[in-house]
Homo-oligomer: A and B are copies of this chain.
Amino acid sequence: MSIVEFKLDPWSHVMIKDYEKLFQYFGIRPFNEVINKLKSVAEPHYLMRRGIIFGHRDFDRVVDAIIRGERFAVVTGLMPSGKMHFGHKMVIDQVIYYQRLDAEIYLVIADIEAYNVRRISRDDAINIALRDYVANYIALGLDKKNLHLYFQSNYKIKYYRLIQLIPRKLTLAELRAAYGEDIDVGKVISVITQIADILHPQLKDLGGFKHIVVPVGPDQDPHIRLTRDVAQRFNDELGLTPPSSTYHRFMSGLDGGKMSSSRPESYISLNEDPATAVQKLMKAFTGGRATAEEQKKLGGEPEKCVVYEFYAYHLIPDDEELRRAYLDCKLGNVLCGECKLKAAELLTKYLIQHNDRYEKALPKVSEYVEMPDF
């Protein structure tokens, strides 16, 4: 790929390599197939424009719904475990994008999965959900409009009924194929519950048919496939139809590994104090060369750079500015030290501003979600 060709999607070639199997064997389609159609009705989100959202299943149906002004819904969830970090932010950014396009939003707090699979106490799960996630969501711009934000443990009876009916349409062999041989009872109930999370907005008594899109990482695709199968099997009986899905790249961990809530050195939390955040960023893995000399000559490798990811995913919303940062690195004009200082400045500004919004959001949490008692 020459620099001239670069169109805000520095991962397109890497991606094809990484996710080739998804396209080839599992039927996920490239997102760029639908982006022009989406443009006819709405400006695509920068995560879409930049190829961070790279794949989909039946997202064209959702675009058609938007074009025709039909109802559609976004379903996603949060696992109340650990801190909310920048890797989590992507999904809620998408939710807010769709909410502004008049989507109904179904946001499930997976407290039951946290309890059964992560073995987190109910109290902890509830507190983490509210303080570490919901308050951040509100700070990021989540609105009360068309919002269904609920705990799995505290919701509507028709939802629980759907959870109970789903087992008829599934075999344990299918669950083992999707989640591994050592699946246990807690995981079984979590899977069934997640399927109900995705499908229940289509139930007759909960508003009836609407297009549904679930934004996920590619690791969640087995779950999407299973959910689509179950929907199909309920088509006659309950009028359910398969949900659409989109797939986004994951941010890399700061240390070059996976970004994970269980390793604080791998992520920056949205509620990190700026000094710690900057310290973590300065230590982060980059796409720099061995020496300054070499980098000036060969240019950096933003495609492999965690700092560049922070720009592209979060810190630089303006496409032209991002393009400049990319080229400055690629052409060897800006070396890692200077680049990190700039990122630190943007990050500090972001965190301070976010913290301000977070403090205002915190007392409002109970307006967004019904609190479960024990």
Which residues of chain A have a CB within 8 Å of any CB of chain B? Answer: 112, 115-116, 119, 122, 152-155, 157, 160-161, 163-165, 167-168, 170-172, 175, 183-186, 188-189, 192-193, 204-205, 372-374
Interface SS majority for chain A:
helix
Q: Which of B154, B165, B167, B188 contacts A167 (CB 8 A)?
A: B188
Q: How many copies does the complex hold?
A: 2
User: What are 28 A-B pairs at a CB distance below 8 A?
Assistant: A112-B164, A112-B165, A115-B164, A115-B168, A116-B164, A116-B165, A116-B167, A116-B168, A119-B168, A152-B164, A153-B165, A155-B157, A157-B157, A160-B160, A167-B185, A167-B186, A167-B188, A167-B189, A171-B184, A171-B185, A172-B183, A172-B184, A172-B185, A175-B185, A185-B188, A185-B192, A189-B192, A204-B374
Q: Apart from A116-B167, A155-B157, A175-B185, list 9 A-B contacts with CB within 8 A.
A: A112-B164, A115-B168, A116-B164, A116-B165, A153-B161, A154-B157, A168-B186, A172-B185, A172-B188
Inter-chain CA distance A244–B374, complex, in Å, is: 26
Which residues of chain B are near A160, meaning CB under 8 Å? 157, 160, 163
Residues of B within 8 A of A171 (CB): 184-185
- Chain B residues within an 8 Å CB radius of A112: 164-165
* Identity of the chain B residue whose Cβ is nearest the Cβ of A160 in the assembled complex: B160
Alpha-carbon gap, A185 to B171, bound state (A): 6
Contact B185 A164 (CB under 8 A): no
Nearest B residue to A154, CB-CB:
B157
Residues of B within 8 A of A372 (CB): 161
4 pairs of A and B residues whose beta carbons are closest in the complex: A167-B185, A160-B160, A167-B186, A167-B189
The answer for the CA separation of A168 and B154 in the assembled complex, in Å, is 18
- B172 A189 Cβ-Cβ under 8 A: no
Cα A226 to Cα B119 in complex, Å, equals: 21
Distance of A191 from chain B, by nearest CB (Å): 9
Contact A164–B183 (Cβ < 8 Å)? no
Chain B hits for A205, CB < 8 A:
373-374
Least Cβ distance of A181 to chain B in Å? 11
Complex CA distance for A374 and B152, rounded to whole angstroms: 21
Q: Is the CB of B164 within 8 A of A154?
A: no
Q: Residue A193 contacts which of B115, B119, B154, B164 (CB distance < 8 angstroms)?
A: B164
Nearest B-chain residue to A174, judged by Cβ: B185
Q: How far is the CB of A223 from chain B (nearest CB, A)?
A: 15
Question: Looking across the interface, which residue of chain B has its beta carbon closest to that of A183?
Answer: B172
